[in-house]
Amino acid sequence: MVILNDDDKHPPESRDSRIGKLAVMVEEISEQYALLAVVQAQVSTMMADLIGHAVANRDLFVASDTDTTKTQEVVRSALTGELAAKMRLSQPMITSMLGTAETLTTELPATLEALGEGVITYQHARTLIDQATGLSTQDRAAFEQVALTLAKTSTPPQFKNKALALRESLHPETSTERHEAAAEDRRVEHWNAPDGMGWLALYAPVEVTQSIFNACHTTAKSLRKTGDERTIGQLTADVFTDAAMLGLTTGIGTGGSGDDSGEGAGVPVFAGRGGAIRPTVHVTVPVMTLLGHSEEPAELDGYGPINPETARRLAAQAPSFTRLLTHPETGAVLSVGRDRYAVPADLRKTIEVRDKTCGFPGCNRSARQCDVDHILAWQDGGETDLENLNPLCRSHHVLKHSSTWQVQRDDDGTIIWTSPLGQKYRIRRSTNVGFEPLDEYDETEPPEPDLEPDLGDEEVENDGFAEDEPNPDDESWFTDTKTDEADATDGKDYPDKPLF
């Protein structure tokens, strides 16, 4: 009897055989990835068709008393909310997808065709759209023809550089004119990162941003030469932080009073890093954590969980922080504190603490930056009390009053939104960190609490209650409706380590 070992039973595969198997796997993955582009092309076509049908049936989306000059804007806003809630995507993302769909179907059909064939990716298509913007019809066609050839043989980053150079040769406006126009959109944005960190980005003329970076980096290198043990990266960040905090103004006039009369009027008052720059921040601290008897995480409004030591330090040392004491078992709010008592600001603060974010499905703009809306309108008998008030960001406040989106409060305090097409969405109050379609909600089981979303919004001062209804004579009500572009994390898919 001959005994065969394992090697005899299963002889090793040849090198060519192993290469062949791996090559097949790579090919299959590549084919599946190409299918993503095909689907994205199909979705773009469907979205463009949807916009056309919605505009043709505008009466389904627009409230009867809405100014007719705003009709198409309201239709698009209401439709964006409908899609965002149904797809569980942010409204800025839906807005971007709709814009891409319209551009591909009406201005760049060859790009849409290439995407539908899977020979370019959605990233290539987005770059091509961005670079084709502003070109004349004739130049755009010429640009698309050459750019598609480049896209089919380049990675998205490579193609972006090539497309930029190609656009420069065709653009009707000079680079100076385009630079001046782009500078009008300068801004600072912030979004959250893991481990209690955050990103701060400045979009400004490159000579400004490069100068700031060079100054910080040069200072960091000088400090290293003096024996500072921090890394260059840490020093660069700290130099920038110190410069920003030391340079920010806290008021106009003398003494930080904001009085612009008399001697010294118009002179900015500066505050040091530990000085008068004191933004209002809500820190919810479990009682036992505050006392040092527990390590249960606290919560920083606009971010999420923070470590107990940081929470104790903020609660003890920062008088401009609102300290919220919670029950160690139920988490119910026990106290908002009385050091900042004012009416109606105190009621507003209670709403901010309770709801945390805008009360529209999927919107995560901080309640601190929202208007306060009467769910049942004042003129219809609604009262100005805690149960009938709901924070709505400006764009969704406008949407409520100008479109056929409807909102009501259930007996248990639940907020129910009904879309123009009849879809219902349930907002859970007291946490208000998510929503779910009512047809998917099981009344027999209480829903699990959602994770707190990122709330990377810019600071907007809003000390009192806004009017319950948008003022049709105030253009700002309708012009400032960018669907919460400042939700920073809400609509922007930033990487963990952005490349500025």
From the CB of residue 208, how many other CB atoms can be counted at a distance below 10 Å? 12
Distance CA 170, CA 141 (A): 11
Per DSSP, the three-state class of 121 is coil
Burial class (CB in 10 A: 0-12, 13-18, 19+), 291: exposed
Ordered DSSP codes for 430-460: TT-S-EEEGGG--TTSPPPPPPPPP--PPP-
**Predicted local confidence at residue 338, as pLDDT:** 33
Count of alpha carbons within 13 Å of 437, Cβ hemisphere only? Answer: 12
The secondary element (H helix, E strand) that includes residue 20 is: helix 15-56
Q: In what order do the strands lie in the sheet with 281-286?
A: 304-306, 298-300, 281-286, 321-326, 333-335
- Residue 485 · residue 92 · CB < 8 Å: yes
**Predicted local confidence at residue 183, as pLDDT:** 86
Residues of the chain with pLDDT under 70: 1-11, 174-176, 248-291, 293, 300-304, 313-346, 429-500
**Predicted local confidence at residue 66, as pLDDT:** 75
Distance CA 90, CA 171 (A): 33
**Predicted local confidence at residue 179, as pLDDT:** 76
At 267, list the tokens.
Answer: 């002179």
**Predicted local confidence at residue 209, as pLDDT:** 85
Ordered DSSP codes for 237-248: HHHHHHHHHHH-
Distance CA 397, CA 363 (A): 12
**Predicted local confidence at residue 450, as pLDDT:** 36
**Predicted local confidence at residue 138, as pLDDT:** 87
From the CB of residue 198, how many other CB atoms can be counted at a distance below 10 Å? 13
At 174, list the tokens.
Answer: 């000079």
Can you give the residue ranges of every domain in the chain?
Answer: 17-181, 186-240, 281-335, 355-490
**Predicted local confidence at residue 412, as pLDDT:** 78
**Predicted local confidence at residue 210, as pLDDT:** 79
Residues in the chain: 500
Per-residue DSSP letter, 391: E
At 500, list the tokens.
Answer: 């500025």
Query: How far is Cα of residue 215 from the mean position of the Cα atoms in its chain?
Result: 30
The secondary element (H helix, E strand) that includes residue 406 is: strand 406-409
- Residue 125 · residue 100 · CB < 8 Å: yes
Distance CA 148, CA 138 (A): 16
Distance CA 466, CA 477 (A): 11
Beta carbons within 8 Å of 97's beta carbon, 6+ residues apart: 43, 44, 47
Per DSSP, the three-state class of 342 is coil
Distance CA 383, CA 347 (A): 13
Burial class (CB in 10 A: 0-12, 13-18, 19+), 307: middle
Nearest to 101 by CA among 54, 55, 45: 45
Distance CA 456, CA 449 (A): 21
- Residue 335 · residue 293 · CB < 8 Å: no
Distance CA 162, CA 302 (A): 39
Strand partners, 372: 391
Distance CA 10, CA 381 (A): 83
